[in-house]
Amino acid sequence: MFEEGTSWQTLGLKGDEQVTIRGLHGDSSRTSGSSPRSSLPTAGSSGCRLICRIDTADELDYYRNGGILQYVLRHLAA
Protein backbone atom coordinates (compact mmCIF):
# COMPACT_ATOMS: atom_id res chain seq x y z
CA MET A 1 0.00 0.00 0.00
CA PHE A 2 1.32 3.49 -0.77
CA GLU A 3 2.26 5.69 2.17
CA GLU A 4 0.07 8.72 2.87
CA GLY A 5 0.57 11.42 0.25
CA THR A 6 1.86 8.99 -2.38
CA SER A 7 -0.20 7.41 -5.14
CA TRP A 8 0.29 5.91 -8.55
CA GLN A 9 -0.59 9.32 -9.97
CA THR A 10 2.03 11.24 -7.96
CA LEU A 11 4.65 8.69 -9.03
CA GLY A 12 3.57 8.86 -12.67
CA LEU A 13 2.95 5.13 -12.91
CA LYS A 14 1.10 3.70 -15.90
CA GLY A 15 0.61 0.10 -14.79
CA ASP A 16 3.21 -1.66 -16.91
CA GLU A 17 6.12 -1.08 -14.51
CA GLN A 18 7.92 -3.84 -12.65
CA VAL A 19 8.60 -3.09 -8.99
CA THR A 20 11.05 -4.77 -6.64
CA ILE A 21 10.05 -4.57 -2.99
CA ARG A 22 12.93 -5.03 -0.57
CA GLY A 23 12.73 -6.34 3.00
CA LEU A 24 10.33 -9.30 2.80
CA HIS A 25 13.01 -11.99 2.97
CA GLY A 26 14.76 -13.52 5.93
CA ASP A 27 14.24 -16.47 8.21
CA SER A 28 10.98 -17.25 9.96
CA SER A 29 12.05 -15.62 13.22
CA ARG A 30 9.64 -12.91 14.31
CA THR A 31 12.54 -10.71 15.41
CA SER A 32 14.52 -10.63 12.18
CA GLY A 33 13.76 -9.12 8.80
CA SER A 34 10.64 -7.09 8.20
CA SER A 35 7.80 -6.79 10.67
CA PRO A 36 4.04 -6.52 10.15
CA ARG A 37 2.86 -3.16 8.78
CA SER A 38 6.45 -2.04 8.19
CA SER A 39 7.51 0.55 5.65
CA LEU A 40 9.46 -1.11 2.84
CA PRO A 41 11.66 0.51 0.20
CA THR A 42 11.28 -0.12 -3.50
CA ALA A 43 14.12 -0.35 -5.97
CA GLY A 44 14.19 1.65 -9.16
CA SER A 45 13.72 5.19 -10.29
CA SER A 46 10.72 6.01 -8.10
CA GLY A 47 12.44 4.99 -4.85
CA CYS A 48 9.13 5.25 -3.00
CA ARG A 49 8.28 3.41 0.21
CA LEU A 50 5.32 1.10 0.61
CA ILE A 51 3.44 -0.08 3.69
CA CYS A 52 3.54 -3.85 3.94
CA ARG A 53 -0.02 -5.18 4.32
CA ILE A 54 1.12 -8.25 6.18
CA ASP A 55 -0.72 -7.17 9.30
CA THR A 56 0.23 -9.79 11.91
CA ALA A 57 3.26 -11.84 12.92
CA ASP A 58 1.31 -15.00 12.03
CA GLU A 59 0.67 -13.71 8.49
CA LEU A 60 4.40 -12.97 8.18
CA ASP A 61 5.18 -16.57 9.19
CA TYR A 62 2.69 -17.86 6.58
CA TYR A 63 4.30 -15.67 3.90
CA ARG A 64 7.82 -16.79 4.78
CA ASN A 65 6.73 -20.44 4.66
CA GLY A 66 5.16 -20.12 1.21
CA GLY A 67 1.56 -19.97 2.40
CA ILE A 68 -0.64 -21.26 5.20
CA LEU A 69 -0.79 -24.83 3.84
CA GLN A 70 3.00 -25.18 3.78
CA TYR A 71 3.19 -23.58 7.24
CA VAL A 72 0.71 -26.10 8.69
CA LEU A 73 2.36 -29.08 6.97
CA ARG A 74 5.80 -28.08 8.26
CA HIS A 75 4.47 -27.85 11.80
CA LEU A 76 2.64 -31.19 11.53
CA ALA A 77 5.83 -32.87 10.29
CA ALA A 78 7.94 -31.40 13.11
Q: Answer yes or no: is 3 within a domain.
A: no
pLDDT in tens, 51-78: 888 899 899 889 888 999 999 999 999 8
Least confident of 2-11, 40-49, 53-62: 40-49
Q: Answer yes or no: is 1 within a domain.
A: no
Q: How many CB atoms lie within 10 A of CB 34?
A: 19
Q: Answer yes or no: is 36 within a domain.
A: yes
Q: Answer yes or no: is 25 within a domain.
A: yes
Q: Using the predicted structure, report yes or no on whether residue 27 has a pLDDT greater than 70.
A: no
Orientation of helix 68-77 relative to helix 57-64, angle to 10°: 80
Domain range holding 45? 8-77
Q: Answer yes or no: is 61 within a domain.
A: yes
Report the distance separating Cα 3 and Cα 52, nearest Å. 10
Say if CB 58 and CB 67 are below 8 A apart. Answer: no
What does the mean pLDDT of the chain come to? 82
Number of domains observed in the structure of the chain = 1
Q: Answer yes or no: is 2 within a domain.
A: no
Q: Answer yes or no: is 70 within a domain.
A: yes
- Give the pLDDT of residue 31: 38
